[in-house]
Amino acid sequence: MKRLLFPLFIILLLPITTVAQSVQPFTGMDVFELQWVEDPQVSPDGEHIVYSRGQMDKMKDKRISRLWIMDADGSNHRKLTTRDVNESSPRWSPDGSRIAFTSSTKEVGAEIYVYWIESGALSRITQLEKSPSGLSWSPDGEYLAFNMKVKESNPKLADSKQPPEGAEWADNPRVTTRLNYQSDGSGYIDPGFTHIFTVPAEGGAPRQITKGDYHHSGDPVWSSDGERLYFSANLNEGWEHERRESELYAVDVENGNIEQLTDRDGPDYSPKVSHDGERIAYLGYDDKVQTYQLTELYVMDADGGEKRKINLGLDRSISSIQWDKDGQGLYFMYDDEGNTKIGYTTLDGKTSVVAKDVGGTTVARPYGGGSYSVANDGRIAYNETTPYYPAELATTSRNQDGRAKITGLNKALLDYRDLGQVEEIWYTSSVDGRKIQGWIVKPPNFDPDKKYPLVVENHGGPISNYGDRFSPEIQLFASAGYVVFYPNPRGSTGFGEEFGNLLYHDYPGNDYHDVMDGVDAVIENGYIDEDNLFVTGGSAGGTMTSWIVGKTDRFKAAAVIKPVMNWISKTLTADNYYGYAHYRYPGQPWENFEAYWEHSPVSLVGNIETPTMVMVGTDDLRTPPSEAKQLYSALQIREIETAYVEIPGASHFISDRPSQLIDKVDNIIAWFERYRTDE
């Protein structure tokens, strides 16, 4: 008997020891195991929810999506179809009997499919020349409306050359005469215009509803009688030069006649028709020509009359509006101090918070986002995130106290990972005494009596925000033993129009001091090694990082990711040419060279002594590689320690493919480790 006791004792301990040892820090390869909820759509009766389940394909190194469905109480969770291809944009028919969605095919692009709930039957109902978007059911369920690009031919300046038979000559020149001819992530934009189409929901020939040399954009929305479709567009002759201008229109489905419903200097978009068809809610603002402007809520009669703004009293931009069933109010989304929320307002502007912690679908850095839908009974389905998991599916209602999280897509992974703890911090700006928000992430097994190196992570935009959202990139920095600080300096969204507009004619500017004041505030906590400070950031965060090392030598090393170094060259070469002149800097670059140069980090390269790595995607059209090369070349000429890292095939979303995300973080950490001197 005594011989049996010892082995039995060991066996009993094994499960406890195994569980304890299985909890480990988050690693780069864990990125491939992450899953997240996108575009949750609750059925009209509130009984079922279909959503797009995002995840990483380890073998093909890309993000994929499949549609899943479940009962609203979290039961009966299953894949919608048996197809193993990308599926997205699910939309319930008005009676809840069918789901329309788009999905990739073996041919070029995506097509529209319809799934019958009762029978499980599935049918592809289109044969389209281009991929559709913006699916919308007609009120009677007979038709689907959608957007699709109608391609045109490239212009020619000279007749095409005629090579001899069998000769291998170079391709003919590609000529463009458009201002907007490229787009980050997709490259060269084929000539053509986006138009509205309809197709019978049981299949048949698609019919083009709008025509002309204009983009008819935004999801088309049916009138309650199914006779008209509402949409937003810029139908002005000079539309290509008016990127912040759009109006609302109604098009007659039968004859294509278009009626303009709004008319002002500024954008009007995202029309939503009340359930009784009497009113249209929409978003927009009067363009004051400034860096940041609040997007506000408006309501008008269905014929365009009696327009009025709903004064929400929030001082926040809103998005994603939806009517309630009785037409007495609307739901909306907004960012508030680093947290994305769903709100509700009555038509007299009485607002309330319905849900918070919305988002978690970027699966890179801790940006906002997310989506929701509302059933006829008021049940709301939305994606929820915290710093400790990507978007999961949650439900609530306006009259419900709290929410129910009904998926746990990442439990099998994250329950066994020791994630860095995230804390909110507020501090005072030395510039003007404003309160500035930031976030601190501590390494796993944090010891407050130890000294840790600090990584400052600057967000992009700069008209954007970081928040208490899951970020694999931030967690990987923490797992490497760094305390991470990510601030929301002036210009960040979610803090009001005046705060966001402080970058008007001053970017980069005093936001630099907001970041550095945050570094001092974190150091005051007593656990930061002041001899091991590091700084990084991407896009506008890369711009700020290069600006920082041009202003101070406090940091041991810097990693500048996809920066703007020269606002003149950036404005004239990038795909978003329209965002800077007048709105951020006075005049065009050739009209006000001094202002553009004054705020260009390249003007400070003569001051930089910090070892600086520069990284960019080779296919980045938003902050082209030529911007990053300006910094790298200048530092090489000055014999400052530097490295230039290219991510092959990456666009501005440099972490789009999971391996790219891992490469990005690994190279940043490796660069910092070269200069880290902690004992």
The single-letter DSSP state of residue 466 is -
Alpha-carbon gap, residue 556 to 671, rounded angstroms: 10
Q: Quote the CA–CA distance of 442 and 525 in Å, as a whole number.
A: 12
Q: If DSSP states are collapsed to H, E and C, what string results for 123-164?
A: EECCCCCCCCEEEEECCCCCEEEEEEEEECCCCCCCCCCCCC
The amino acid sitting at 238 is G
d(CA 38, CA 54): 7
Q: Residue 112: what residue type?
A: I
Average pLDDT over every residue of 403-425: 97
Confidence of residue 179 (pLDDT cuts 50, 70, 90): confident
Global pTM? Answer: 0.94
Q: Using N-to-C axis directions, what is the helix angle for 511-523 and 540-551, rounded to 10°?
A: 70
What is the DSSP code (8-state) at residue 431?
A: T
- CA 469, CA 359: separation in Å to the nearest integer? 8
- What is the torsion angle, in degrees rounded to the nearest 10, for the CA atoms of residue 127, residue 129, residue 134 and residue 139? -40
Among all chains, which residue has been given the structure tokens 């050739």?
A: 590
pLDDT at 21: 52
- Give the residue, 172 or 34, on which the prediction is more confident: 34
| Calpha distance 151→549 (Å, rounded) | 46
DSSP letter for 28, please.
G
Per-residue burial over 199-218, b = 16 or more CB atoms within 10 Å of its CB, e = otherwise? bebeeeebeebbeeebbbbb
Q: With beta carbons less than 8 A apart as the criterion, state whether 193 and 145 touch.
A: no
Mean pLDDT of 128-132: 94
pLDDT, one tens digit per residue, over 632-648 is 999 999 999 999 999 99
| pLDDT at position 630 over 80 | yes
CB 536 within 8 A of CB 545: yes
Give 416-455 pLDDT, tens digit per residue: 999 999 999 999 999 999 999 999 999 999 999 999 999 9
Cα 425 to chain centroid distance, Å, stands at 24
Say if residues 209 and 229 touch (Cβ distance below 8 Å).
yes
DSSP for residue 449: T
In SS3 terms, 613-636 reads as EEEEECCCCCCCHHHHHHHHHHHH
Set out the domains of the chain in order of their start, with CATH numbers: 420-565+600-675 (3.40.50.1820)
Residue 201 has pLDDT above 70, yes or no: yes
What is the maximum alpha-carbon separation in the chain?
A: 98
- The predicted pLDDT at position 679 comes to 63
Please provide residue 447's backbone torsions phi and psi, each rounded to the nearest 5 degrees.
-120, 110
Both tokens of 225, joined, read 């009688």
Local confidence band at 20 (pLDDT 50, 70, 90 cut-offs)? very low
What is the mean predicted confidence (pLDDT) over 508-515?
97
Determine if the peptide bond prior to 462 is cis (ω within 30°).
yes
Q: What is the mean pLDDT of the chain?
A: 94
Q: Taking residues 514-534, what's their average pLDDT? A: 98
pLDDT grade for 410, boundaries at 50, 70 and 90: very high
Q: Which residues contact 167 (CB under 8 A, 6 or more apart)?
A: none
DSSP calls for 297-360: EEEEETTS-S-EEE--S--S-EEEEEE-TTSSEEEEEEEETTEEEEEEEETT--EEEEE-SB--
Confidence of residue 159 (pLDDT cuts 50, 70, 90): confident
Query: In angstroms, how far is CA 9 from the centroid of its own chain?
Result: 53
Burial class for 244, CB neighbours closer than 10 Å (0-12, 13-18, 19+): middle
**Which pLDDT band, with edges at 50, 70 and 90, does 400 fall under?**
confident
Please, which contacts does 63-72 make with residues 24 or more away whose CB atoms are closer than 8 Å?
A: 63/363, 63/656, 63/657, 63/658, 65/38, 67/99, 67/101, 69/99, 70/393, 70/406, 70/407, 71/47, 72/42, 72/46, 72/47, 72/48, 72/379, 72/381, 72/395, 72/406
Whether residue 101 contacts residue 67, with contact meaning beta carbons closer than 8 Å, is answered with: yes
Q: Which token pair is 614?
A: 């520069």
Angle between helices 472-479 and 658-675 (to 10 degrees): 30
Structure tokens at 311: 């004064």
Q: Regarding predicted confidence, which is higher, 309 or 361?
A: 309
Bond into 472 cis (ω within 30): no
* Predicted confidence (pLDDT) per residue in 666-678, tens digit: 999 999 999 999 7
How many percent of the chain have pLDDT more than 90?
88
User: What CA–CA distance (Å, rounded) separates 44 from 323?
Assistant: 13
Q: Is pLDDT of 19 > 90?
A: no
Residue pair 537/457 in contact (Cβ under 8 Å)? The answer is yes
Over 79-97, what HEC string results? ECCCCCCCEEEEEECCCCC
- List the one residue out of 44, 92, 96, 49 whose CA is nearest residue 393: 49
> What token pair was written down for 238?
């000079």
Q: Are 593 and 584 in contact (CB under 8 A)?
A: no
> CA torsion sign, 26 to 32 to 38 to 43?
negative
Separation of alpha carbons 406 and 375, rounded Å: 17
Q: Please write the tens of the pLDDT for every residue from 216-248.
A: 988 999 999 999 999 999 999 888 888 789 999
Angstrom distance (rounded) from CA 59 to CA 422: 32
Asked whether residue 18 carries a pLDDT value surpassing 80, the answer given is no
For residue 16, is pLDDT > 80?
Answer: no
Q: Which residues contact 146 (CB under 8 A, 6 or more apart)?
A: 112, 132, 133, 134, 135, 136, 196, 197, 198, 199, 220
Question: Please, which pLDDT band fits residue 402 given cuts at 50, 70 and 90?
Answer: confident
Q: How many residues does the chain have?
A: 679
- Is the predicted pLDDT of residue 546 greater than 60, yes or no? yes
Cα 479 to Cα 162, 248, 417, 483, 526, distances in angstroms: 61, 49, 10, 9, 20
How far lies 483's CA from each of 348, 455, 535, in Å?
46, 6, 12
The helix/strand/coil state of 231 is: strand
Give the whole-angstrom CA distance, residue 98 versus residue 118. 8
Please list, in sequence order, all residues whose beta carbon lies within 8 angstroms of the beta carbon of residue 243, skipping any fewer than 6 positions away: 578, 579
pLDDT at 358 over 70: yes
CB 297 within 8 A of CB 330: yes
For residue 7, pLDDT beyond 90: no
